[in-house]
Structure 1
Amino acid sequence: MVHRHRWRPMVILGSSLWTFSVWASAFAGPSFAGNYVALLLARMVSGVSEAILQCIAPPLIQKTGGKHAGVWLALYYTAIPAGTAGGYVFGSVVANAEGMDFDTAFAFEGAVGFLLLACCCYIDDDRLPKLSDGGAPAESPSVSTDDETPDLSAPLAPTDSFGASNVVRKRVFVARELHPEDGPEDAALIDPGTPRRRAPLTFREEISTCLSSQIFVLIVFSYSVYTGVIIAISTFGSSFVLALGILDTEKKASVTFGLIASAAGIIGTPLGGAYIDRVKARHSGHTEEDDRQRLAAILEAVRRMILMGTLLTWPISVVRRPSLFMSFFFLGMSFLFASTSGMNIAIMLSVEPRLIPNAIALCTFMIHLFGDVPSPIVVGLLKDWLAPSCIGENVTSDACKEERGGIRDTLIYIFLWMTWSIVLLWYAKRAVLKGEPNTKETRTGRGNGTDGAVLPLNETGII
């Protein structure tokens, strides 16, 4: 859909689905219908609407953010910890208020969503770029009409607010036009000076093209590991705090742990975005080498932030004083959240601009598949195996106190797993600097299958 519609209809669609699904969740609550199936369906629709917005927002911020796109993208992702912090406060108010239940929170969220939806309807769509250049003309090839080898060193013009032409962009194209009655020997090269419209790729071809990029795959798997660790800590953090005796009540542990994690995200995410903008500014050229150096520098910056965050968070598995525990946890999580903007920018720079929306969608799917969905299950099983007495309400029991070593071992294993994210980013940076071959971009058409295709030249300038 992003190849056929501008951004506002897509945002309105996603926002409308989200708003009405949240209101449906409110009406399915105990104060109204009290229907669990309706609540389940409403929450599923809410997830679909969030996925629509997730595929649209990052590319739109990228195209319009200018030299501060990293900060704007970071502010976008800061909404997650900020919303979490607000949710803890609002949730506690609702929980302690007489005659109110979770459906009240859903109704309030729906009202806020409706106001944002109304604002989107009044923004001038014509002043913003298209979400995808899937049907845009291909670059005019710098190919001579004689037997000379084409010049492959001519710099590309910037294509987005990062000042980058993207590492895997094709630099030289020749379009071959075939007709059903023509054989391969009758194919004629189109005038190289005439811009040609790229044949739009199907959804399957876009996904295949993204997966053929080694850089993209390495970054996505690194992001999956990172997300899995963050979700595991968020899911079991309060129970770990209770089991280790850092705090003594469930309510205090839940609120304190959640607010510290949210504060780390609110502070760390925008600071990380500002740092990524500085990293990009050091490589502001538009040549292919500049593109590689820019992406490599971003990957290295993200890798260092995750490494620093892991090293600072690891001590919480051994310290016993609450002040030290919370201090190390806040500092470590701040560095981990700081990498969010850079990680997403690296994903968008690892594919062609017209593939970015579906690349974001594929990345989100793979993160769920390999990261935040299995992570709590695996960590929960590990915790139950290493500390079987620390389950549910037993986390404050004497038997659980005897198994605190198992809880600490669980934390150590979680942080060791983050090592894979750091290693994968190192390999991604290495692939960028080595010069990953261009990803394949083919399209089956009429005749012999090359009708309307955009084909890259080889080193001799011959298709």
Structure 2
Amino acid sequence: MAHNTVKDSAPTPSWFTPKRLLTMFCVINMLNYVDRGAIASNGVNGSLGTCTDSGICSSGSGIQGDFELNNFEDGVLSSAFMVGLLVASPIFASLSKSHNPFRLIGVGLSVWTFATAGCGSSFDFWSIAICRMLVGVGEASFISLAAPFIDDNAPVAQKTAWLAVFYMCIPTGTAFGYIYGGFVGSQFNWRYAFWGEALLMLPFAILGFVMKPLQLKGFAHAESKKTLTCVETVCPVSEELEVSNVFDRLGGNEGLNSQAYVRALKPMGVSNILNQFIRFSEDMKVLLLDQVYVVNVLGYISYNFVIGAYSYWGPKAGYNIYHMNNADLLFGGMTVVCGILGTLSGGFILDRMGSTISNAFKLLSGATFLGAIFCFCAFYLRSLTGFIALFSVGELLVFATQAPVNYVCLHCVKPSFRPLSMAISTVSIHIFGDVPSSPLVGVIQDNVNNWRETSLMLTSVFFLASGIWFIGIFLNSVDMSQDEGENQVATCAKDNMKPLLEGNRNNMQDGFGEA
């Protein structure tokens, strides 16, 4: 008779070191946002053809010109990826409990590569719109799982700084996307921009399948499916029982005993889809009852409400208020510089303060409050020079929140909840934040007809975000991802499972027979 065996430690990666992992994820994140910038660039997006009163017509350029899209259809393409992202993020996060997360990233990047190549080969509005949705599906796996991997592998004293480096790629990638799309679109054809992105991402998609997979803390080892072969005559070899699922069920109120073990194994014969749905519902309930997580995400939604509207309406507001002839370049340049410096500074400052959830909330609240004051005063000034000076300082401060807010999302939940925590955070800040903010600001401007007043009203929402994060300072929060706590839990589980597996074999056989 064969005995049950569970490996005590995850396999050693064959190639990945922490710095290589961070570098790889930063390049992938950069490519994601290069794509965002490229499709918005003049070289790729293009314009419709025009005709003069004398009957002379010029042909259109880019996607809009080739497919003869109106402004509404063109706007749909820029945000169509959000559909796939919002739908697929929770799905990938849920699947990470039963499938190796590293392999899931490989699947997602493969979809992304296929979708971007499809954008370059599209032939009408609907074909490219569907491909843009699939781009979001591919991105969903990466967004949900990359940050937990980075948090696992970063040095203890530099966890937030490493997250800051990762999130710094957002403004940098978008800026490179404008340049890349403009150059390729003007020198070759807009289709080559998408094909180039697909070629650049392809090696990373392949790497997700051929390299020895990494493990996330709180999940099963190896290929995520280690089988318990209790007794050869009783446990069929073909019926794989996931150790992680058993541990999860035994970690509840039922306690570690043979009867609970049998009850935990029985649901595995039910439809896998139903099990996934039930588990997702239970995990969502846990997240929504976590006060620290809810407060953090509510503050993040309010913050992203402003940032999303700034990115869409900022150049137009600047042009109308200060008569900037180069508003796109000016706002883009300020955002790139302040985004990089602010994001990195936020991560390093939190590490120097001490990476705790309470300190993260202090930094979030303080930086957002001061940033709101500078941005608010900037829009009051009549001088363009004064506006640039104050608004730049304000952007530096508000961008300092990127690493701390994601640090809280990762550390206020158990390790096995981190992918879902990141996924729901991403979904929430888009659904309730930047997606509705741009049209709402447009409605306000239609009624007020004064960009200065509209900008001041929008900026005031930063004070709401600061207030919500201020509440988080006083919540009783425990860092659920501390290595010491995880080791204690793992040791306790192993010690309790040993007599269960060896001393109660007869009871387990009876349970398997009933199942």
- TM-fit CA distance, 1:98: 5.3
Report the equivalent of 1:396: none
Q: Say if 1:434 and 1:38 are closer, same or farther in 2 by CA, change over 3 A.
A: closer
Contact 1:238 1:257 in 2 (8 A): yes
User: Alignment partner of 1:4: what SS?
Assistant: coil
Find the aligned partners of 1:246 and 1:420 in 2 and give their Cα distance. 30
Matched, 1:269 2:343: yes
The corresponding residue for 1:409 is: 453
Aligned to 2:88: none
- TM (norm. structure 2) is 0.62
1:133 aligns with 2:219: yes
Aligned to 2:311: 234
Cα distance in 2 for residues equivalent to 1:118 and 1:81: 26
Map 1:160-309 to 2 at 5 A.
174-175=255-256, 178=259, 202-247=279-324, 249=325, 252-280=326-354, 294-309=356-371
Given that 2:368 and 2:463 are in contact with CA atoms closer than 8 Å, whether structure 1 keeps it comes out as no
Does 1:36 pair with 2:125? yes
Q: Match of 2:140? A: 51
Counterpart-to-counterpart distance in 1, 2:463 and 2:341: 24
Equivalent positions of 1:444-455 (< 5 A) are none
Equivalent residue, structure 2, for 1:459? none
State yes or no: 1:78 paired with 2:155: no
Between the aligned partners of 1:86 and 1:180, the Cα distance in structure 2 is 54
Given the alignment of the two structures, is residue 354 of structure 1 paired with residue 443 of structure 2, yes or no?
no
Letter in 2 for 1:357: P
The alignment status of 1:21 with 2:65, answered yes or no, reads no
Distance 1:120 1:322, change over 3 A: farther
SS state of the match for residue 322, structure 2? coil
**Structure 1 contact 134–354 (Cα < 8 Å) conserved:** no
Q: Are 1:319 and 2:381 counterparts?
A: yes
Is 2:139 the counterpart of 1:65? no
Structure 1 position 276, deviation (Å): 1.6
Picking from 402, 406, 431, the partner of 2:475 is 431
| Secondary structure in structure 2 of the residue aligned to 1:431 | coil
CA distance in 1, matches of 2:261, 2:311: 59
Is residue 2:403 matched to residue 1:344?
no
Question: Are the structure 2 counterparts of residues 299 and 414 from structure 1 closer, same or farther at C-alpha, using a change threshold of 3 Å?
Answer: same
8 Å CA contact 2:306–2:458 kept in 1: the answer is: yes
TM-score between both structures, scaled by the size of structure 1: 0.69
Map of 2:47 onto structure 1? none
CA distance, structure 1, for counterparts of residue 172 and residue 459 of structure 2: 24
Runs of 4+ with >6 A deviation: 170-173, 179-182
Unaligned 5+ segments in structure 1 are: 137-169, 183-198, 282-293, 388-405, 436-451, 453-463
Query: CA separation in 2, counterparts of 1:73 and 1:180?
Result: 39
Shift of 1:370: 1.1
Task: Identify, as 1 or 2, the structure richer in helix.
Answer: 2
The answer to whether the 8 A contact 2:103-2:208 is kept is no
**Counterpart Cα distance in 2 of 1:64 and 1:100:** 41
- Cα separation, partners in 2 of 1:243 and 1:65, compared to 1, 3 Å: same
* Aligned mates of 2:443, 2:178 — CA distance in 1: 27
* Residue 331 (1) aligns with residue 393 (2): yes
| Identical pairs, percent | 24
Q: Which residue of structure 2 lines up, in the alignment, with residue 106 of structure 1?
A: 194
Offset, 1:81: 0.4
In structure 2, the residue matched to 1:115 is 203
Question: Is the CA contact 1:268–1:335 (under 8 Å) kept in the aligned structure 2?
Answer: yes
Residue 425 of structure 1: how far off its partner (Å)? 0.8
1:382 counterpart letter in structure 2: I
Corresponding residue of 1:153? none
SS of the counterpart of 1:220?
A: helix
Q: Any idea what SS the aligned residue of 1:11 has?
A: helix
Contact kept, 8 Å, 1:88 with 1:255, in 2: the verdict is: no
How many residues in Structure 1 have an aligned counterpart in Structure 2?
A: 346
Q: Relative contact order (alpha carbons < 8 A, sep ≥ 6): 1 or 2 greater? A: 1
TM-superposition CA deviations, 1:315-345 (whole Å, max 9, x none): 2211232222222222211111111010011
Separation in 1, partners of 2:464, 2:397: 17
CA 1:120–1:178 in structure 2 vs 1: closer, same or farther (change >3 Å)? closer
103, 107, 120: which one aligns with 1:9: 103
Structure 1 CA distance for aligned equivalents of residues 181 and 327 of structure 2? 15
Segments of structure 2 that go 5 or more residues without pairing to the other structure are 1-94, 223-250, 264-274, 480-496, 498-515
Give the secondary structure class of the aligned counterpart of 1:432. coil
| Shift in alpha-carbon separation, 1:22–1:177, aligned structure 2, 3 A | same
Distance (whole Å) between structure 1 residues aligned to residue 417 and residue 221 of structure 2: 11
**Could you tell which deviates more after superposition, 362-371 or 217-226?**
362-371
Query: Residue type matched to 2:318 in 1?
Result: V
